[in-house]
Amino acid sequence: MLDLFRKRGLSSIVYGVIIVGMVMVFVIQFRPNAGQATGSLKEACVVLVKGHCVNPKSYKASYRLLIPRDSQGNLLTARAKQMHLGQVTADGLVERELLVSEAERIGVRATPDEVDTEILNGFIHVSIPSDNPFLASSLRVGDGKIYAGFKDQKTKQFDYKVYERSIRMLTGKSATEFKEEQERELVAAKMRDMIRSPIRVSDAEALEMYVAEKSSAKVSYVEIKGSWLARWASTAPQADVDAWLKDKTNEAIVDSTMLGREKDSAPVKDHIRHVLAKFSASATPEEKAIALGRIAKAYARAKSGEAFADVARDTSDDTSNTHGGDVGDKTDGFVEPFKVAADALKPGEMTNEAIETQFGYHLIYKDAPDQKAEIVAKLKKGVVRQLYLKHVTLELAKTLATRVRDDVKAGKSAEDSVKAIIAQYTKAPEKLTAIGIRGSKPAAAGAKDAGHDATVAATGDAGAAKALVEPKAPTADTDVDRPQVQTSAGFNKGGDAISELSNDASAEVNKFAFSGKDGDVMADPLRTDNGYMVVQLKEHKTSSKEEFDKERETYVQTLLAAKQAEALALYVKRLREAAKADVKIDESFTKEAAGKDGGAPTDFEDEEQQ
C-alpha cells in the first residue's frame, strides 16, 4: 500500500512539474512586453518564522481544519470568529515552525514512510497553541491530530481517490501539497513528544496532589466592619477631626484621596447620579420599609449639605457607588420610571420621592457643574470625616472581633456574641422625614436599571407620588453591614475560603482549616479591607491513601497529562521569546473582522452555516 501511495504521489509531482513548466514557457514567451526586465515576485506570508513563509493557502488550510462543525459536518464560521480562530491558527503555525526549526538544529526528521503511515491510518496533523490545553478538546483535535479516515465506504479500506477528494474538500490543497505540509506537522509532533516524554509523576507526588485536591473544609466567620461602626458606634467631634488632620501624614492621605475623589465625584455636565436601596421581587413589606428608610435617610443627608456623591458612595447598593453614584448622561437604556424622573431634573436638583423600579428604590440627582467649587469643598469635608472615622473604627473593629473570638473559645456561640455586640449599638430609630414613592410595575423586556443590566422594563405613572409603605429608619441591627455569622462554601487545600480576604490572609485560613480540629477558632482576628474577621473551623475532611489507591491510575494519568502540557507550554514560550524578532504575523489575514462581514479566510464563506 505504501508503494502504491508513493507512486501516486510521485506521478502527481511529475505531472505537476510538466504542467508548471508549460505554463512558465507560455508566460515567458507570450506575455506582453516579453524580453523586458521584470520586477521581483514577492511571496505573501501570513506567518513568517526564521525565514520560513507560511503562505495564505497553507494558513487557510489549517484554519479550515480547525473550524468547528455541527452534527452534519457543516462549517460554523460564525462560531470560529467568536473563538478568534484566525489568531489561534496563526499562533499554532508559529509554534509549529519554531519546533521545526529546533528539530532541524538537533537533527529530528520525519521520514516519507512515517508521513505515509499517518495518512494511511486516516490522521491529519494540525498545530494549535500549546498554552491552552483545553483548546484542543474544544476544537476536536486529540493529541494534535484529526481523524479523517480516507476509507472507501464499501470496502472500509484506505482509498487514494477518497483521500485526494477529502483533502481537497477539507484543506483546499492537492494531495502533494498536503503531504509536504504534513511532513512539517509530523516533525513538530515529534518535538512535542520529545519535550513531554521525560516528564514523570511519582506516587508520592500524586498522593500529595490528590490529598490537596480532594480534601475539603468549611469555615464560619464574622466580619466586624468599620463602615458599620462608623455609622453606629463612632462620632466625629470637629475638635478631634481637626486634631487628627494636623498630623502631616494624615494630611497627605487626605490630599491623595481627594485626587481620586474629584475625578469620579466632581460634577460633570448632564451626568446623573443615584442611590439604590435594593429589594427583591419577593420582598416583604418590612423589607421594603427598611429600604425606603435608607432612601429617606440618604435624602436627609443630601438635603443637610453633604455632597450627593458622598451619600451615594456610603449608602448605595449599586456598583456605581464607587464612582459617587455616577451613571453617565444617557438615560435611554434605563427603566421607564428612572428615565422619566432623571430626564425631568434640572442641574443641581434631586428627586423628592423614592423612584421605585423592580430593583428597589432610587434617589436621583443631576450634576451641577456651575456648583463645582462648593461641591468639591463638601467632598473634601467628607473625605476628612471618612478617613478619620476609618482611623478610629479600625481599632474598635479589632477589639470587637477579639471579643467574639474569646466568647467562642469560652463556649459561647458566635451568633449570641454578635447579637450582644449589635444590641450595644442599637438605639431607638430616628424620626425620618416622610418620603413618597413613584410606583412602577413590570412590563416589556429590554431596558436596564441604572448600573444594572435588566431583563424586564418597568412602566407606570412615573409622575404621581404614592405612599405605598411607611419608611422604617435603618438601625444597627438592620444595617446591611452589620456583623453576621456566615459559612463558606466547601474548599480544598488550594482554594479560597473567603473572597473578602487578601491572598496572604486566605492562605492563613487555608492552613488553619486543614491543620486544626472542628470547632477551633483562629488565634487572631484577620485584617480585611473594611475591618477585622473572626474565623472558626466548621468541618473538614482529609482524603486518605486508601481513597487515592482506588483512583490512582486515572488520577496519575490526568496529573501527568497536565504536567506534560505545562512543560510543553513553557518550552514553546521560551522559543517564542528567543525568536521574537524573527516571528512576523500578517494581521490582515488573522483578524476576524475580514471576510464577508469583515472574516478570516474568505474562500469558505459560501459554506457558512451559522
- Give the pLDDT of residue 1: 54
Residue with cell 443590566: 453
Amino acid letter for position 129: P
Distance of alpha carbon 338 from its chain centroid, rounded?
Answer: 30
- With cut-offs at 50, 70 and 90, classify the pLDDT of residue 440: low
Q: Which residues of 363-374 are buried (b: 16+ CB within 10 A; e: fewer)?
A: bbbbbbeeeeee
On the question of pLDDT at 137 being above 90, the answer is: no
Q: 560, 252 in Cβ contact below 8 A?
A: no
The rounded distance, in Å, linking the Cα atoms of 45 and 55 is: 5
Per-residue confidence (pLDDT) for residue 23, from 0 to 100:
40
CA distance linking residue 101 with residue 95, whole number of Å:
10
What is the pairing mode between strands 531-541 and 216-225?
antiparallel
In the prediction, which pLDDT does 439 show?
65
SS3 call for 267? coil
* pLDDT score at 6: 52
Q: Which three cell numbers stand for residue 349?
A: 436638583
- pLDDT the model gives residue 509: 95
pLDDT at 455 over 50: no
In the prediction, which pLDDT does 32 show?
Answer: 37
Question: DSSP for 520-532?
Answer: -B-SSPEEETTEE
Report the range of poorest mean pLDDT among 369-383, 401-415, 427-441.
427-441
pLDDT confidence tier of residue 413, bands split at 50, 70 and 90: very high
User: If you search the block for the grid coordinates 480576604, which residue do you land on?
Assistant: 501
- In this prediction, residue 488 has a pLDDT band, given cuts at 50, 70 and 90, of very high
pLDDT at 289: 92
41 has pLDDT over 80: no
CA 484 – CA 280 distance, rounded (Å): 20
Alpha-carbon distance of 395 to 531, in angstroms, equals 9
Nearest CA to 440 out of 470, 410, 407, 465 is that of: 465
| Beta carbons within 10 angstroms of residue 464's beta carbon | 11
pLDDT at 403 over 60: yes
Q: Which CATH architecture has domain 238-418+427-462?
A: Roll (3.10)
Grid cell for residue 168: 481537497
Amino acid in position 478: T
**CA 12 – CA 175 distance, rounded (Å):** 8
pLDDT at 348 over 70: yes
**Backbone angles phi and psi of 467, in degrees to 5:** -90, 95
Of 164, 143, 368, give the one whose Cα is nearest residue 272: 368
Dist CA 436 CA 351 (whole Å): 10
| Alpha-helix residue ranges (DSSP H) falling in 266-322 | 285-303, 308-315
What is the CA 379 to chain-centroid distance, rounded? 34
Helix axes 160-171, 175-196, angle to 10 degrees: 80
Residue 26 has pLDDT above 70, yes or no: no
Q: pTM of this prediction? A: 0.62
- Going from the C-alpha of 530 to that of each of 67, 129, 408, 510, the distances in angstroms are 49, 43, 22, 21
**Beta strands 216-225 and 485-487, pairing class:** antiparallel
Cα 128 to Cα 291: distance, rounded to the nearest angstrom: 54
The candidate with the shortest Cα–Cα distance to 121, out of 2, 261, 295, is 2
Give the pLDDT of residue 2. 52
Distance, in Å, from the CA atom of 295 to the CA atom of 433, rounded to the nearest integer, reads: 11
Q: What pLDDT digit, counting tens, does each position of 70-83 carry? A: 877 787 888 888 89
What is the model's pLDDT at position 500? 85
The pLDDT score that the predictor gives to residue 577 is: 96
Task: Give the rounded percent of residues in the chain with a pLDDT score beyond 90.
Answer: 70
Render pLDDT for 202-229 as a digit per residue (tens, 0 to 9). Answer: 999 999 999 999 999 999 999 999 999 9
Specify the 3-state DSSP secondary structure of 263: helix
Digit-coded pLDDT (tens) for 251-305: 999 999 999 999 889 999 999 999 999 999 999 999 999 999 999 999 999 999 9
Q: In Å, what is the CA distance from 563 to each residue of 205, 213, 586? A: 12, 15, 33
Average pLDDT over residues 36-55: 74
Q: Compute the mean pLDDT over every residue in the chain, rounded to the nearest whole number.
A: 85
How many CB atoms neighbour CB 56 within 10 A? 17
The pLDDT of residue 593 is above 50 = no
Condensed to tens digits (0 to 9), the pLDDT of residues 327-336 reads 999 998 899 9
